[in-house]
């Protein structure tokens, strides 16, 4: 069996997505996601210029050897663009392999370890009243776990509170990123008050989560975790930037609020200390930015040794292809924790028809052979690329900060 061709499809049904399609001499094709929010064309060019020529003629069933070739063979290993492009190839090859076997991908990984994948949705509001309305809406849809993000008095725009509700999209159209103001004291004062009101309103029967989005220093994060303990959150996410893995030790010494980190990591080396020293409870890496199913499986196996469970990233800037692959992975992985599920817009769902479905708080990847996600190329061609960037943040005195 041989790879006979491959192409990159860039489409913008509301937001930009980069898709790799691999074709074989047996008439079976597979697709993978290569989307990096705000750097989409870097991944598209990397695939077209540096990866596709090396794929032609290879046996698509040798997904491990191709992974190693693209990782070791590049010499300048790792980095988000490289690892995302490797992931796109890996997803497409697992898709082909599972189609060839006539099985849904999860069967090739070891079969289902559970009946469905627990997911969390996003309740976003400009103030507490709006967040309460949103949580009620998600509960009515059947969600059992909900992430709550609120506007902060005194700050005009903050991460997690979008223009839309169900289809939250933080990137803004234009050639240059928008700038937003960030101020930590207001956020630290407001967040415990928010969760106090949420628990008072909804009780403890719903899992609540919160994303700090890298905006605190370790000692500030420790304070937040401590102040949220009475509200028993499922997790706080990205409490501080984790390039310095040791800094998590300080947060751990002060709080028992569970910690989730890893959506921006691109390999096992970014999280091995966090995992081995049990400095986190959930690893957020997913099949897209962390080198595909082949690499994520290694991260999850390491995490299992240290009681760390998975909590894959699942924002709308990850295409339905990533969601499909993540769900096959989640259905199998023994140390599964939870899966993020930020719903895609109807336009995106139409471009990427998929077999996965939602039922009473759980997603299931479906039984279609492969990963169960396709691309409608004719429809995709109607939505050309549009430059869009995530905002950047500055403190009141103009200092650059993490958005
Ligand atoms: C999340 C993430 C996203 C990111 C987005 C950036 O937890 O879902 O933090 O909201 O900001 O994926 O492209
Ligand atoms: Mg996040």
Phi-psi region of 100 (alpha: psi -120 to 50; beta: other; left: phi over 0): alpha
C-beta of 285 in contact with ligand 1 (< 6 A)? no
Q: Report pLDDT for 156.
A: 87
CATH number of the structural domain spanning residue 343: 3.20.20.120
d(CA 254, CA 243): 20
**Ligand 1 atom 4 nearest Cα:** 315
Closest ligand to the CA of 341 = 1
Are 272 and 52 in contact, with CB atoms under 8 Å apart? no
C-beta of 177 in contact with ligand 1 (< 6 A)? no
Atom of ligand 1 at shortest distance to CA of 171?
A: 13
Catalytic residues: 159, 213
Closest ligand to the CA of 319 = 1
State pLDDT tens for residues 11-59.
999 999 999 999 999 999 999 999 999 999 999 999 999 999 999 999 9
Atom of ligand 1 at shortest distance to CA of 237?
A: 7
Q: Compute, in angstroms, the gap from residue 213 CA to the centroid of ligand 2.
A: 6
Joined tokens for residue 129: 């009243």
Q: Compute, in angstroms, the gap from residue 307 CA to the centroid of ligand 1.
A: 25
**Ligand 1 atom 9 nearest Cα:** 213
Q: Report pLDDT for 159.
A: 87
Closest ligand to the CA of 318 = 1
From 211, 261, 282, 311, the mutation candidate for ligand 1 (largest count of ligand atoms within 8 A of CB) is 211
Joined tokens for residue 248: 């998590």
d(CA 90, CA 325): 10
Q: Compute, in angstroms, the gap from residue 87 CA to the centroid of ligand 1.
A: 18
Atom of ligand 1 at shortest distance to CA of 213?
A: 9
d(CA 385, CA 381): 10
HEC sequence for the chain: CCEEEEEEEEECCCCCEEEEEEEECCCCEEEEECCCCCCHHHHHHHHHHHHHHHHCCCCCCCHHHHHHHHHHCCCCCCCHHHHHHHHHHHHHHHHHHHHHHCCEHHHHHCCCCCCCEEEEEEEEECCHHHHHHHHHHHHHHCCCEEEEEECCCCCCCCCCCCCCCCCCCCCEECCCCCEEECCHHHHHHHHHHHHHHHHHHHCCCCEEEEECCCCCCHHHHHHHHHHCHHHCCCEEECCCCCCCHHHHHHHHHHCCCCEEECCCCCCHHHCHHHHHCCCCCEECCCCCCCCHHHHHHHHHHHHHHCCCEEEECCCCCCCHHHHHHHHHHHHHCCCEEEEECCCCCHHHHHHCCECCEEECCEEECCCCCECCECCCHHHHCCCCCCCEECCEEECCCCCEECC
C-beta of 207 in contact with ligand 1 (< 6 A)? no
Please tell me whether residues 306 and 169 are part of one structural domain.
Answer: yes
**Ligand 1 atom 12 nearest Cα:** 315
Closest ligand to the CA of 39 = 1
Please tell me whether residues 64 and 159 are part of one structural domain.
Answer: no
Please tell me whether residues 140 and 188 are part of one structural domain.
Answer: yes
Q: Report pLDDT for 24.
A: 98
Using CA atoms, how far residue 99 sits from 95, 300, 370, in Å, is: 6, 24, 5
Q: Report pLDDT for 161.
A: 87
State pLDDT tens for residues 113-158.
999 999 999 999 999 999 999 999 999 999 999 999 999 999 988 8
Atom of ligand 1 at shortest distance to CA of 168?
A: 10
Atom of ligand 1 at shortest distance to CA of 316?
A: 12
- How many structural domains compose the chain? 2
Q: Report pLDDT for 169.
A: 78
Domain boundary among 74, 103, 132: 103
Domain boundary among 103, 138, 172: 103
Task: Report the 10 Å Cβ neighbour count for 162.
Answer: 16
Please tell me whether residues 89 and 130 are part of one structural domain.
Answer: no
Please tell me whether residues 293 and 270 are part of one structural domain.
Answer: yes
User: Which residues in the chain come in under a pLDDT of 50?
Assistant: none
C-beta of 390 in contact with ligand 1 (< 6 A)? yes
Task: Report the 10 Å Cβ neighbour count for 373.
Answer: 27
C-beta of 213 in contact with ligand 1 (< 6 A)? yes
List CB contacts of 325: < 8 A, sequence separation 6 or more.
Answer: 33, 91, 94, 105, 287, 292, 293, 371, 373
Q: Report pLDDT for 177.
A: 93
Q: Report pLDDT for 157.
A: 85
Q: Compute, in angstroms, the gap from residue 55 CA to the centroid of ligand 2.
A: 33
Q: Report pLDDT for 273.
A: 97
CATH number of the structural domain spanning residue 80: 3.30.390.10
Please tell me whether residues 92 and 123 are part of one structural domain.
Answer: no
List CB contacts of 66: < 8 A, sequence separation 6 or more.
Answer: 55, 58, 60, 89, 90, 93
Atom of ligand 1 at shortest distance to CA of 340?
A: 8
User: Greatest CA separation found in the chain?
Assistant: 61
Please tell me whether residues 99 and 120 are part of one structural domain.
Answer: no
Q: Which domain holds residue 221?
A: 109-401
Domain boundary among 84, 103, 122: 103
From 265, 313, 403, the mutation candidate for ligand 1 (largest count of ligand atoms within 8 A of CB) is 313
Please tell me whether residues 89 and 197 are part of one structural domain.
Answer: no
From 35, 170, 316, 323, the mutation candidate for ligand 1 (largest count of ligand atoms within 8 A of CB) is 170
Are 317 and 35 in contact, with CB atoms under 8 Å apart? yes
Strand-pair partners of 23: 5, 29
Please tell me whether residues 132 and 277 are part of one structural domain.
Answer: yes
**Of the candidates 365, 322, 370, the residue with the CA atom closest to the CA atom of residue 98:** 370
**Ligand 1 atom 10 nearest Cα:** 315
Angle at 269 between CA 268 and CA 274, to 5 degrees: 85
Please tell me whether residues 76 and 44 are part of one structural domain.
Answer: yes
d(CA 315, CA 301): 24
Please tell me whether residues 77 and 123 are part of one structural domain.
Answer: no
Please tell me whether residues 174 and 44 are part of one structural domain.
Answer: no
């Amino acid at each position: 069996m041989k790879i006979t061709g491959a192409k990159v499809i860039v489409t913008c049904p509301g937001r930009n997505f980069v898709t790799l399609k691999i074709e074989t001499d047996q008439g079976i094709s597979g697709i993978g996601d290569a989307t990096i929010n705000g750097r989409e064309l870097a991944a598209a060019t990397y695939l077209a210029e540096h990866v596709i020529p090396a794929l032609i003629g290879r046996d698509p069933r040798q997904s491990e050897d191709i992974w190693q070739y693209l990782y070791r063979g590049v010499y300048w290993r790792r980095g988000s663009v490289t690892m995302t492009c490797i992931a796109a190839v890996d997803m497409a090859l697992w898709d082909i392999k599972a189609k060839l076997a006539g099985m849904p991908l999860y069967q090739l990984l070891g079969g289902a370890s559970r009946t469905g994948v627990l997911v969390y949705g996003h309740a976003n509001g400009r103030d507490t009243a709006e967040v309460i309305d949103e949580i009620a809406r998600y509960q009515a849809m059947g969600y059992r776990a909900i992430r709550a993000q609120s506007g902060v008095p005194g700050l005009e725009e903050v991460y997690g509170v979008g223009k839309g509700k169900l289809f939250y999209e933080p990137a803004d159209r234009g050639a240059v990123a928008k700038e937003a103001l960030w101020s930590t004291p207001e956020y630290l004062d407001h967040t415990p008050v928010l969760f106090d009101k949420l628990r008072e309103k909804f009780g403890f029967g719903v899992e609540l989560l919160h994303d700090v989005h890298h905006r605190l220093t370790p000692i500030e994060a420790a304070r937040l975790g401590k102040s949220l303990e009475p509200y028993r959150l499922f997790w706080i996410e990205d409490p501080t930037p984790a390039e310095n893995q040791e800094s998590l030790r300080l947060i751990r010494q002060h709080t028992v609020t569970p910690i989730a980190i890893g959506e921006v990591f691109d390999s096992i080396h970014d999280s091995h200390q966090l995992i081995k020293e049990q400095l986190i409870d959930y690893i957020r890496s997913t099949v897209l930015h962390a080198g595909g199913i082949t690499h994520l499986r290694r991260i999850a196996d390491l995490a299992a040794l240290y009681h760390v469970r998975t909590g894959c990233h699942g924002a709308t800037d990850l295409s339905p292809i990533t969601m499909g692959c993540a769900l096959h992975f989640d259905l199998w992985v023994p140390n599964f924790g939870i899966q993020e599920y930020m719903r895609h817009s109807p336009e995106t769902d139409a471009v990427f028809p998929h077999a996965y479905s939602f039922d009473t708080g759980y997603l299931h990847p479906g039984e279609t052979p492969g990963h169960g996600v396709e691309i409608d190329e004719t429809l995709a061609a109607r939505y050309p690329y549009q430059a869009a960037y995530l905002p950047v943040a500055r403190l009141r005195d103009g200092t650059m900060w993490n958005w």
